[in-house]
Structure 1
Amino acid sequence: MEHIENNNLLKVGIVVDDIEKALKAYCGLFGLAMPEIQTPDPNSVQEHTDNSYTWYRGEYITARTKFANLQMGPVTVELMEPFDEPNPWNEFKQKHGPGVHFITFTVNGFQQHINFLEGQGIPLAHKGEYGSGRYGYFDTESLLGVVLGLQELGPKQD
């Protein structure tokens, strides 16, 4: 592999302080219908399996955030209000405040892409599996000015 196979931006992830307020602003400015806010149960404990897990900086965690997706042309804007617990979105918010956290591209061959980026000296910081797909975030803030995200949809290609 010589490069990431896809350069079509799929998603931009934005960490916000108040998801309801941010959604109202986006929807009002762009004339969009208000999407549903996904809110995980704050008392749930995530069971980690081969097909459903969240791994963050070497540990399996319960990563929870309120989120909503806005479809803006071919790009999804994902707004996230993180729970106050160890997770990548809360870490970003504590370090930078609200703002653009990640950009994501869809790839085939998820593990192959992880191996490629790590071979380039770009470490994987966070990955997750959610049954119908998987995603990973890489430590690229100092290199790219934003966290690079890759996702693979459907059955594992590895």
Structure 2
Amino acid sequence: MNHIDNANLTKIGLIVDNIEEAAKRYCAMFNLPMPEIQVPTLDDPPSQQTDDNYTWYRGERRDTRTKFANLQMGPVTVELLEPLDEPSPWSEFKQKHGQGVHFITFTVNGFEQHIDFAEQQGLPLIHKGEYGSGRYSYFDSEQALGVILGLQELGPKQD
């Protein structure tokens, strides 16, 4: 592999202080329906995570949760994220930068191969998760790219 197989941006993640207020503002500005604001539960603590349902953050399996809401804006999803007060890539970003653009994500086929490629490019993996029907990852790419690079794969795992 010598490049990421998809140059189509599919998602932008924005860290916000108050997700309810941010969602209302975006919906009013762009005449969008109010999205569901979701807060993942602690149903699957790290000890109960499986290969098909897990989160990994900075070298270990752990719970990483955030309030989130998705706004579909043409072909791009704008994901609003309000970090919870627990270790996660979202709370780490908020502590360092406050509100702002946290990540840009591209959808790929061949999740693990793309992780290997990004790391070979000098972008260390900092977070990844799997939720049965998809997988996502974030890389330490702020210095190199100006933003955290996200890669996701949807549907069944590709070999």
| More moved, 96-105 vs 110-119 | 110-119
TM-score (norm 2): 0.95
Which residue of 2 is the match for residue 14 of structure 1?
Answer: 14
Gaps of 5+ in 1: none
**What residue is the counterpart of 2:154 in the other structure?**
153
The 3-state SS of whatever aligns with 1:122 is coil
Question: In structure 1, how many angstroms separate the alpha carbons of the residues matched to 2:121 and 2:109?
Answer: 19
Task: Give 1:1-80 correspondences, 5 Å limit.
Answer: 1-41=1-41, 44=43, 46=45, 47-80=48-81
2:109 is matched with which residue?
Answer: 108
Could you say what secondary structure the match of 2:33 adopts? coil
AA partner of residue 18 (structure 2)? D
Q: Which amino acid aligns with 1:33?
A: P
Percent identity, please. Answer: 71
Shift of 1:95: 0.2
| 1: CA distance, partners of 2:74 / 2:139 | 25
Secondary structure of the corresponding residue to residue 86 of structure 2:
coil
1:116-147 alpha-carbon deviations (Å, 9 max, x no partner) = 11111111110000000101101100111100
With structure 1 as the length reference, what TM-score do the two structures score?
Answer: 0.96
One-letter amino acid of the structure 2 residue matched with residue 38 of structure 1: Q
CA RMSD of aligned residues (A): 1.0
Q: Which runs of 5+ in 2 are unaligned?
A: none
The letter of the residue matching 2:11 is K
Q: Secondary structure at the match of 2:119?
A: helix
Partner SS state of residue 93, structure 1: helix
Q: Please, which moves more after superposition, 143-152 or 116-125? A: 116-125
Residue 114 of structure 2 corresponds to residue 126 of structure 1: no
SS in 2 for 1:13: strand
Aligned pair count? 157
1:52-89 residue CA offsets vs partner (Å, 9 max, x unmatched): 00000101111111100000010000001111000000
Q: CA-to-partner distance for each residue in 1:92-124, whole Å, 9 max, x for gaps?
A: 000000110000000000111111111111111
